Amino acid sequence: MKQYLEIVKQILKNGKDKKDRTGTGTIAVAGVKFEHDMAEGFPLITTKKVPLRLVSSELEFFIKGISDKKWLQERNNHIWDEWCSPDVVAYAHDKETKKKMMKERELGPVYGWQWRNFGAEYISYDKEKKGKGVDQLKNVIDTLRKNPENRRLIVSAWNPVDIPRMALPPCHYCFQLIVINNRLNLLWNQRSVDVALGLPFNIASYGLLLHLIAKETGLREGKLIGFLGDTHIYINHIEGMKRQITRNPYKLSKIRTSDFSSIFEWNYTDTKIIDYKHHPHIKFEIAV
């Protein structure tokens, strides 16, 4: 996908050295826009392999409002393994702390919990919340059916009250839905963007969310737009990124999703990728 490669090229050319929380080091730029028309195909990048199974199972995890990383592990998805809530293990870089973080299953009130329970009091992954909270995701879908012209279709994961308890403060912290000419557009905001590992997942995840909401509401799929803040490449990812930009993108694939009565009953196995042709895997170490 050319839009993604242009972002990589921009950072390799203009990125400035910047220290970061993980101690790895990055080159970064401030403020980048990603834009893709879903009519051109599903935005799963082709210059390396991105497993849709991991993207879609994490999205189901968000949609269901789950905060137990064991749910993901039981589905052979290990992208949250290294993190846990500071409630159980205080964040640190040393090996002993990292081992403890790996063993814990509590992630705290992360993304999906905020989508489905904003304002309620989080207790733990295995206990009921206190208070009602706001089911933001259900509200925007209900509003789309009744009033698709509405300009308040926003879901936020950024809750300053709960951030200290989250395994990781939301990187992609907010999304908005806009309907124009019966086409559903999704715009997401992201404060911190790991271009090598995170961004391909973010693009595919919000593309899939757009697809699912459009399917449920009977709208056509429109544009996927990302407003990216601190957009960076980790120092130990630079060589892999240089290799990736030499590859010519293949034609984008398509996805097919089985019929469902509600997005809240959708299972990640209901969505299949069609004709996904990609270049070989590039290994990037994750910065924790």
Q: What is the pLDDT of residues 26-51, one digit of tens each?
A: 999 999 999 999 999 999 999 999 99
CA 280 vs CA 49, 202, 245: distances in Å: 6, 20, 13
Q: Residue 13: pLDDT band by 50, 70, 90 thresholds?
A: very high
**Which among 94, 228, 202, 114 is positioned nearest to 166, based on CA atoms?**
114
What per-residue confidence (pLDDT) applies to 269? 97
DSSP H helical segments within the chain, as ranges? Answer: 2-14, 52-63, 69-73, 95-103, 111-117, 136-146, 198-217, 238-244
State the burial class of residue 8 (Cβ atoms within 10 Å of its Cβ: 0-12, 13-18, 19+).
buried
Q: At the top level of CATH, which class does the domain 2-52+134-274 belong to? A: alpha beta
The pLDDT of residue 93: 82
Phi-psi region of 125 (alpha: psi -120 to 50; beta: other; left: phi over 0): alpha
Percent of residues, the chain, with pLDDT higher than 70: 100
Region 176-188: what's the mean pLDDT? Answer: 98
Does residue 204 register a pLDDT over 90? yes
Going from N- to C-terminal start, the domains of the chain cover 2-52+134-274
pLDDT of 94 reads: 87
Q: Residue 22: which pLDDT band, with cuts at 50, 70 and 90?
A: confident
In the set 171, 187, 212, 225, the catalytic residue is 171
pLDDT digits (tens, 9 = 90+) for 83-104: 999 999 998 888 899 999 999 9
Q: Is the pLDDT of residue 285 over 90?
A: no
Write down the pLDDT at residue 286: 82
Q: Is the pLDDT of residue 288 over 80?
A: no
- pLDDT at position 139, please? 98
Is 171 known to be catalytic? Answer: yes
Q: How confident is the model at residue 1, as a pLDDT? A: 81
